[in-house]
Amino acid sequence: MVDGQSFRWAVDLVICIDGTASMGYLEAVKSSALKFCDRLEVSMTKRNKKIDQLRARVIVFRDYWANTAEQAMQYSEFFDLRSQYSDFANFISKIEAHGGGDEPENGLEALALALKSNWEKGDFLKKRYVVIVFTDASAHSLEKIPKPNHYPNDLPKTFDDLTDYWHEMPGRAKRLILFAPDVEPWTMMNSWENTIHYVSEAGHGLEEGEIDQIIFPIHSAI
């Protein structure tokens, strides 16, 4: 156990990635997702703290109105990054830019799936549940109708329902990091507690310094 730490930490990350973007953007985001996990570990070590369990899952979203159900939403279960990092990296490496119509995309549906993840509930004194959204596109309204036949029935019907998903999560444990355009509905989440919105630009991934900026509000709460 690291000196000065007398309790066990568990951190769960859910990374939502827009899979419709240009390949240049997507490759930058994939690289950022892999670097993020490594940087978080290094940052915690520098602060003389240790994450006892670090898990991550990935959700790739496109557009139910333009793609099949299988193309519109692809996701993994949680990977234990200590024992399954290669599986996690392999899942990310296979994400390819395709599908989607014109903007918007189904980012809110991906966020809903993320918030309903099978979060760690085990014997850890403290836990953090972190959702990160990477997109350079706006998002369909959850109220949009008519919906395609293959649109899932178990998703929130309104933005208020999605907001309830967020409020139902443990307040001290949750963090939402948005790397998204400065447009609705992403700007509507600025009032959600423990949420930080970094404005993305079409075709641009995360810069090195921005990765560290995203990590800071997470490790500062641990």
Asked if residue 78 is part of any domain, the answer here is yes
- Residue 84, domain member (yes or no): yes
Q: Is 41 inside any structural domain?
A: yes
pLDDT digits (tens, 9 = 90+) for 95-149: 999 887 678 999 999 999 999 999 999 889 889 999 999 998 999 999 999 999 9
Q: Is residue 4 part of a domain?
A: no
Name the residue with higher pLDDT: 79 or 213: 79
Could you tell me the pLDDT band of residue 25, with boundaries at 50, 70 and 90? Answer: confident
Per-residue confidence (pLDDT) for residue 219, from 0 to 100: 60
The answer on pLDDT for 163 being more than 70 is yes
- In this predicted structure, the answer to whether residue 205 has a pLDDT above a threshold of 70 is no
Domain limits at 188? 9-219
- For the chain, what percent of residues have pLDDT higher than 90? 61
Q: How far is CA 63 from the centre of its chain?
A: 17
Residue 81 lies in a domain: yes
CATH value at residue 193:
3.40.50.410
Half-sphere exposure of 12 (CA within 13 A, CB side): 19
Residue 3 lies in a domain: no
pTM: 0.90
Q: What's the start-to-end Cα distance of the chain, in Å?
A: 15
User: Is 1 a member of any domain?
Assistant: no
| pLDDT number for residue 29 | 83
Number of domains into which the chain is organized = 1
Residue-wise pLDDT tens digits, 48-66: 777 899 999 999 999 999 9
How many Cβ atoms sit within 10 Å of the Cβ of residue 144? 13
> 23-32, 123-132, 179-188, 205-214: which range is least confident on average?
205-214
- Euclidean distance between CA atoms 80 and 117, whole angstroms: 14
Look at residue 20 and tell me whether its pLDDT is greater than 80.
yes
- pLDDT for residue 203: 59
Flag whether 154 is in a domain: yes
Is the predicted pLDDT of residue 12 greater than 90, yes or no? yes
Mean pLDDT of the residues in the chain? 87
**The pLDDT value given to residue 2:** 44
Share of the chain above pLDDT 70, in %: 85
Find, among 213, 195, 51, the residue nearest to 133 by Cα: 195
